[in-house]
Structure 1
C-alpha cells in the first residue's frame, strides 16, 4: 500500500443501558435495546419478572394469575410474542360471548356499542329500563356538552345519555379495564375515539355512529383478543430468555436505591453495589420512579407522585368439571355493574374461554373472579378464605353454582393499575417535558401511555428506540490515502 495510512477513529465502546424494572414494559425495552446492539443490564426489585403477568398452575391446570389476554388489533404484544418464539402458541379465545349480571339476572352482553356507548339505543333494550332508553333519545336534541381539554367519561356520557348507561354498561366494561371509577377517569386518555367524537358532534349517538361506520369501512380480520397456550404470563420469561441470548444481563431481587448523573455517565446504586451506564430506562411504577427522580428531576418526580393506583384481587378456583359444566351459563363469563352492590366485579370461565386450559386439564373447570377497585381496597384486607367464600356466594346468586372448588388461589395485585383521571395526558406531557432536559434517560410503563399489555410493550419499545438513537455513536469515516475513504 503506497503512502502513509491515515489514522482511524478509535473503536467505540458498546453503550451500556440499565433498565430499571422487570415488568413487560422494561423487558420490551431491554429486548429492543439488545436488538440494536446495546449492552443491557435489567434490574428487578422482586424475585420474579413480569409484573402483572404471572402464569402458574391450579390443581395441575395451567392458568394466568394476572392479565390473561392481549388486544390483538394493536400489534405490539402479538409481534413481540412471535419475535421471542411464542408464535405457534398464540390462540384466540374459544368463545367471545359474555353476559352481564344486571339487576339480578344474567343477560347477553349487548353488541353494537363503543365501550358501552351505543350508536343505536335499541341494542340496550335488555340492559336498561324503559326510562333509561327514553333518556338516551334526549341526546339528539340536547345542546352540545363542552369537553374542553378533557372531561370524565362518566360525567360526559351521563350528561348526554343518562347515568343508567354509565352505571349499567360503561362502568363494568371500562371500569374493569382500569379497576377505576369512570366518573373520574379521563375520556381523552381512556377512550380517545369518543373524545374526538365529542369535540366534533353535538350528539354522542351521531359520534358513535361515525366511529362504527369508520370501523366497518376499515374492518380488520382476525381475532380481537389473543392468549398464549400456557398463559400470557409465559411471555415475560420468553422475552427474558431472548434478552439473555443476546448478551443482556437480568438481575432479580436487586432494588435500585438511587440514580445520579455526572460527567456524562449514570451511576445506578443498588443494595449490592453501583453500576455505571450511558443511559437509563426507568420502567418502574410511578411511586418508585418519583423517588428515584427526586434529585434528577424534581418537577417530574412531583408529577409522578400524584399518580394514584388501584388494587384488586383475583380469586382463581378449580372445580370438578362434572359438578359445574351444566350449571354455568354459556359463554366466557360475566361482568357485574358495581351499582348493584355485589362484591365481585367479574367472573371469567377460563376453561371455556381458553381452549388450552381445557385441553391440559379436561376433568377440571377453572374460573376466576375479580374483587376490588379504586376506592374499594378494603376488600383486599379480607383473608383468602373469606374472599373465596364471598366469590362463591356471588357466583351462586348469579348462576346457581353450589359446588365447592377442589383448589383455590387468591392473588392480590396491590397498586396494580395506575389511574387515568381527567388531565392525565397533560400530566404525562409535563413529566416528559421535564425529563427531556435530562440526557440519557427515558421512562415507560403503564403509568404513561395505557394500561394494556400492547400499550406497555409499545411504551417500552419507544423508550428504547429514543434512547438508542441518543446514545449510539456511529463510527466516523476517516479519509485515507489509498483511494479515499479508509474503508
Structure 2
C-alpha cells in the first residue's frame, strides 16, 4: 500500500506537536513533512548560547498547571530536565514605584480589594472597594476588556496592574483585548451569576491555604530548544521553503513551494499530500486559505498581530541583581525625565531560574500598535534597555555579551469576539476533508495551548485518513 503523506506547514511548536502526534497515530510508514519558510524550527521558541549557558530568547517557560506541555515533555523522555522558578517574587512598576505583584487575583482582578491596595492611591482604593456595589454586570456576548475595567474600577487598577500583566502575555493593551478570550474564568463566573468582577474573581481564585503553592511555570534546564529538537525527529524537514499556495486535488492537497519571484521557477515546485495541517500565523493562513476556504481566510484576516523583541544581556560575574524575578511595566509608566520606558518587562533570569550559571537578564520590548523602541536598530535597542534597567533596578553594568531577537508580527491579539472568530475558522476548515489548522491564533498564545491545537489538528487528520472511503 502507498504510505499516507501529510504536510505540516509551519515549524513552530504547534506544527511540531502536530507532526509528533501524527507520527504516533499513523505509524512509522507515514510520510510526514514539516515545511518551514525560515531556516530554523521552533517559532517563538529559541534557545541560544549566551555567556556559556543555554538561554531562551523567545518563550522561556510553559504554564505548568495546564497539562499539554508537561505531558508532552514527559512523553518525550525529557521530564528529568524540567525545572521550576525560584521563590523570587515578581514585581510591577505602579505609579512610579516598584512593588510585588499581589496574590489572589485573576490577571490582576482582585478577589479581595485589600490585596491590591498598596498599588493604588486613596481614590484608586476607593474605586476598587466600591466595585461590588455597582450595578450587576449583565454579560451578553463578549465585552471589550478595557472599557469594562475602567467603568468598574477607574483607570488606576487597569493601568498599574491588569494592563502590565496582559501586556506580558499578548504584547497588547488592555483596551484592545476581549474579555472572553483573555479571561475565560472571569467570563464563566459572570455567566454563572456573579454580579461583579470582584465576585467573579473570588469564585475562581483559590483560597489561601498556607500550603506551598504548586509551581506555576516549568521549563527545561537545557532550554526549550531541547523540546524543539526532540519533536523534530518525528518528521522530514524542509527548511527555508515557503509555501506560496495551497490547492485541492481530486484526493488530497497540493502545496506550491518556493518564492514566487517573477521569471523564476522554484526547483521543487509542488508537494502532493493526502492531508495538510496549517500551523502558521494569521497573515500566512489568510493567504493560503484565500480561494480554498474563503470564510476561514476572511476570519484570519481580522486577527491583528503585535511585534516585539527580546534583548538578552549577560552581565559581568558578581553583578548584583534585585532579589526579584523581574518587573512588569505598564504603558503609562514614565521614567524620571517623563519619557516612556522602552521595555514592557524585565526578567532577572539569573534570579528567577536557579540553573542558570551566569548573570543573565532580558528586556521585552514592543506593544501592539506602539512600535516605539522597536524602530531602533539593535545597538540603540540595547542602549535603551540598559537605560531602563538602570532606572528600574539600579543595574548599570555593561554587558559582556548580548543578543537581540526580533519577533515581527509574532503575537496575535485576542480582540472582542475572538472566540466567535475562531469558531468561524474551525467550522469552515472542518468542512474540508484532510485539512486542519493549529497555532497561537486559536485557543491561547502560550506553549500548552499551542501544543493542544497541534494535537487536536493531528487527531482530526488521522481520523480522516483512517475513515473508510465510500463511493
Q: Shared topology, TM-score over 0.5?
A: yes
1:475 & 1:440 partners in 2: Cα distance? 13
2:213 & 2:316 partners in 1: Cα distance? 36
1:393 & 1:103 partners in 2: Cα distance? 19
Q: Which residue of 2 aligns with 1:160?
A: 152
2:381 & 2:438 partners in 1: Cα distance? 33
SS in 1 for 2:77: coil
2:331 equivalent to 1:338: yes
Q: Which residue of 2 aligns with 1:463?
A: 457
Q: Which residue of 2 aligns with 1:482?
A: none
Q: Which residue of 2 aligns with 1:274?
A: 270
Conserved? CA contact 1:172–1:337, under 8 Å: yes
* Shift in Å, 1:474: 6.5
SS in 2 for 1:370: strand
Q: 1:91-111: per-residue Cα shift (whole Å, max 9, x none)?
A: 111234111222332212211
Matching of residues 196-211 of structure 1 within 5 Å: 196-199=188-191, 200-211=193-204
Q: Which residue of 2 aligns with 1:3?
A: none
The alignment yields a C-alpha RMSD, in angstroms, of 1.9
1:437 & 1:86 partners in 2: Cα distance? 37
Q: Which runs of 4+ in 1 moved over 4 A?
A: 473-476
Q: Which residue of 2 aligns with 1:30?
A: 19
Query: If the length of structure 2 is used for normalisation, what is the TM-score?
Result: 0.92
Q: Which residue of 2 aligns with 1:249?
A: 236
- Report the number of matched residues: 450
Q: 1:360-414: per-residue Cα shift (whole Å, max 9, x none)?
A: xxxx310011111101114212011111111111111112222111111111110
Conserved? CA contact 2:163–2:173, under 8 Å: yes
For residue 119 of structure 1, the aligned residue among 111, 114, 123 is 111
SS in 2 for 1:339: coil
2:429 & 2:312 partners in 1: Cα distance? 41
For residue 312 of structure 1, the aligned residue among 304, 308, 314 is 308
2:331 & 2:277 partners in 1: Cα distance? 38
Conserved? CA contact 2:11–2:43, under 8 Å: yes
2:57 & 2:121 partners in 1: Cα distance? 36
* Shift in Å, 1:184: 1.5
Matching of residues 178-189 of structure 1 within 5 Å: 178-189=170-181
* Shift in Å, 1:13: 3.4
2:8 equivalent to 1:19: yes
Query: If the length of structure 1 is used for normalisation, what is the TM-score?
Result: 0.89
* Shift in Å, 1:221: 6.7
2:190 & 2:141 partners in 1: Cα distance? 11
2:299 equivalent to 1:303: yes
Q: Any unmatched runs of 5+ in structure 1?
A: 1-11, 359-363, 477-487
SS in 2 for 1:125: helix
2:328 & 2:164 partners in 1: Cα distance? 6
SS in 2 for 1:150: coil
1:57 & 1:22 partners in 2: Cα distance? 21
2:248 equivalent to 1:261: yes
* Shift in Å, 1:40: 0.9
Conserved? CA contact 1:95–1:352, under 8 Å: no
SS in 2 for 1:465: helix
Conserved? CA contact 1:33–1:39, under 8 Å: no
Matching of residues 376-455 of structure 1 within 5 Å: 376-455=370-449
SS in 2 for 1:321: coil
1:378 & 1:338 partners in 2: Cα distance? 11
2:43 equivalent to 1:51: yes
1:141 & 1:115 partners in 2: Cα distance? 21
SS in 1 for 2:41: coil
2:390 & 2:309 partners in 1: Cα distance? 19
For residue 63 of structure 1, the aligned residue among 43, 55, 58 is 55
* Shift in Å, 1:264: 1.8
* Shift in Å, 1:304: 1.0
SS in 2 for 1:126: helix
SS in 2 for 1:338: coil
SS in 2 for 1:183: helix
Conserved? CA contact 1:102–1:168, under 8 Å: yes
* Shift in Å, 1:422: 0.2
When residues 96 and 193 of structure 1 are mapped into structure 2, their CA distance, relative to the original with a 3 A threshold, is farther
When residues 371 and 194 of structure 1 are mapped into structure 2, their CA distance, relative to the original with a 3 A threshold, is same
1:402 & 1:181 partners in 2: Cα distance? 29
When residues 464 and 221 of structure 1 are mapped into structure 2, their CA distance, relative to the original with a 3 A threshold, is farther
Q: 1:215-272: per-residue Cα shift (whole Å, max 9, x none)?
A: 779x99742110101212321111112x0xxxx3111111112111121221112122
